[in-house]
């Protein structure tokens, strides 16, 4: 190793002998590094989106290539939309299926996320994504019981609200703007996945939740490659319930109102 530049408590940019620059990420939670390494490999296997190559990992550290960053562009966004559609189309064995070699007890960021396979998206999403964090938010006092009732009502109607049944898609799983890198090569690169089998609208809802440059061009490219089912815009809030509740538990009541509003806005 020639040099190290600490970017955060968990992430460092390291220059190796010979000049190669890699990213070294520390994972304190059991299974977190294994889950991320397996997710990167599974997403790369689809040959659809750009991902940094995994150079090695052990129980606590993950080493990947560094992505040289550029600036967001409309052409790159449009291309990324088409690539994301191809990634989703690569499919998964089931909703909730982990990547090959990935653990059942995985993570979305620093939050636990169980990858338990299910046969249909509405019941799987309610049981293994939304309800665990809904209960935890109430137990920890960051979501009021009356607010939880609103979200529970949306979950009860989920089979009618979810739209046409679709096969499991191969999801990045944590596709917020911070995990979308605009490369110096004019391509979009994805990092830090919470990969699993899920509904393809979930990744798109995550892009929308925290903002993504040129999102309109991303969606245009996606729709050209794999048109979304009618009513997808009305379902965005349903797909945002999980990340909003995760943020409510991790960061407090500032996100609780957004989760309740998303549930109230759900309509068939």
C-alpha–C-alpha distance, residues 9 and 170, integer Å? 30
Greatest pairwise CA separation for the chain in angstroms: 60
The catalytically annotated residue of 174, 192, 203, 208 is: 174
Active site residue 174: yes
- Which residue numbers are catalytic? 174
């Amino acid at each position: 190793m020639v040099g190290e530049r600490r970017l955060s408590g968990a992430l460092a940019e390291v220059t190796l002998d010979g000049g190669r620059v890699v990213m070294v990420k520390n994972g304190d939670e059991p299974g977190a590094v294994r889950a991320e390494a397996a997710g990167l490999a599974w997403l790369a296997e689809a040959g659809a989106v750009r991902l940094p190559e995994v150079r090695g990992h052990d129980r606590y550290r993950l080493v990947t290539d560094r992505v040289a960053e550029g600036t967001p562009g409309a052409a790159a966004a449009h291309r990324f939309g088409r690539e994301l559609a191809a990634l989703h189309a690569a499919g998964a064995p089931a909703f909730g299926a982990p990547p090959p070699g990935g653990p059942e007890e995985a993570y979305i960021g620093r939050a636990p996320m169980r990858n338990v396979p299910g046969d249909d998206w509405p019941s799987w999403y309610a049981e293994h994504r939304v309800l665990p964090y809904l209960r935890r938010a109430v137990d920890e006092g960051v979501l009021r019981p009356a607010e939880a009732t609103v979200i529970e009502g949306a979950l009860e109607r989920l089979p009618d609200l979810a739209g046409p049944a679709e096969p499991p898609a191969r999801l990045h799983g944590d596709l917020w703007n911070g995990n979308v890198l605009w490369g110096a090569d004019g391509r979009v690169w994805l990092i830090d996945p919470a990969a699993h089998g899920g509904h393809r609208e979930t990744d798109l809802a995550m892009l929308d939740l925290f903002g993504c440059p040129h999102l309109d061009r991303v969606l245009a490219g996606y729709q050209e490659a794999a048109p979304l089912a009618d009513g997808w815009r009305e379902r965005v809030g349903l797909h945002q319930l999980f990340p909003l509740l995760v943020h409510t538990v991790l960061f407090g009541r500032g996100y609780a109102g957004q989760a309740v509003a998303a549930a109230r806005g759900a309509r068939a």
